[in-house]
Amino acid sequence: MDVAVKAKPAVRPVPVIKQVGVIGAGQMGSGITHVIALGKYDVLLTDVRKEAVDKAISTIEKNLGRQVAKGVVNEADMKAALGRIQFAPNLDALGDCDLVIEAATEDESVKRRIFQELCPKLKPSALLATNTSSLSITRLASTTDRPEHFIGMHFMNPVPLMELVELIRGIATEDDVFGVARTFVESLGKTTAVSEDFPAFIVNRILLPMINEAVYTLYEGVGTVEGIDKAMRLGAHHPMGPLELADFIGLDTCLAVMQVLYEGLSDSKYRPCPLLVKYVEAGWLGRKTNRGFYDYRGEKPVPTR
């Protein structure tokens, strides 16, 4: 009796990375574009608003100028890096990219919509990465046509200064894809830390509960904003106090990560502090809105509590 043998599904080729697309021109997207262009890759940067891309390129030029002033980068490398960055008017423009990195807001529904629109436009071999700081890589990958070519690539903020990138593989991520992603990240002068695909990965699994606990310390009246930050700067030798750091990250992002931890791990120790929720509901999101745990509208930051 003849037994039918199922043919193995075709394996997607893994590309040599030459051209990279970045989706999202906010703080993270602009920083990622900066280091990739400096790493001698061509970059296509896109956002729903062209003015966001214009602002990002202006920020990149300013930050590269600071690196030149410090002697970290020379003038020729700065000019070459800026010449490698192009505006992509829409997702269709990313069709020839070997790697596309999504750096949109930390909202799973937004990321899913981007992937569903993007995937039909990509060449079959293209790798797809997400810069999510907390969401499931496996779940995001399942919404695409290429879960085997999908990976978490979590850059730290501010990207040009921070040495680390977390790499997170989903359940379907192929070994070759992981290897290419790791080589690419290391070619940017970054060090990789490999995390399993659990809520918030390594850095934010440790960092955000600390920030949340600092907010509880404020909420319960144990210390003031200034007192809490001073205690951690001088008592634990942190370069920045936890509430100042929360403002830098964005209180909406801090809350989103805590919600992912709380819902994903079902442990009450990850419950977001009600005061953090209140600040986000007020639209006081930190530096990006000029008010958070500090008010940034004057000459120097003033505690808001």
Q: What is the maximum alpha-carbon separation in the chain?
A: 85
pLDDT given at position 7: 43
**Residue 12: its pLDDT value, please?**
74
Residues 6+ apart with CB under 8 A from 164: 156, 190, 191, 192, 193, 203
What residues act catalytically? Answer: 133, 154, 166, 204
- The average confidence (pLDDT) of the chain is 95
The stretch 15-32 carries a mean pLDDT of: 95
Please give the pLDDT value at position 1.
Answer: 43
> pLDDT of 190-235, one tens digit each?
999 999 999 999 999 999 999 999 999 999 999 999 999 999 999 9
Domains delineated in the chain: 19-195 (3.40.50.720), 205-303 (1.10.1040.10)
The DSSP string of 99-135 is: EEEE---S-HHHHHHHHHHHGGGS-TT-EEEE--SSS
**Residues near 256 by beta carbon (within 8 Å), at least 6 away in sequence:** 106, 107, 134
Give the residue-averaged pLDDT of 42-55.
96
Task: Give the containing element (helix H, strand E) for 28.
Answer: helix 27-38
Token pair 């060449």 is found at 123
pLDDT of residue 11: 64
Cα–Cα distance, 152 to 55 (Å, whole number):
26
Q: What is the pLDDT of residues 135-146, one digit of tens each?
A: 999 999 999 999
- At residue 5, the pLDDT reads 47
What would the mean pLDDT of 241-251 be, rounded to a whole number? 97
Query: Percentage of the chain with pLDDT > 90?
Result: 94
pLDDT-derived band at 152, boundaries 50, 70, 90: very high
Q: What is the mean pLDDT of residues 10-25?
A: 87
pTM: 0.89
Residue-level pLDDT at 237: 97
- Band the pLDDT of 14: cuts 50, 70, 90: confident
Residue 262 confidence (pLDDT) above 70: yes
pLDDT band at 8 (very low <50, low <70, confident <90, very high): very low
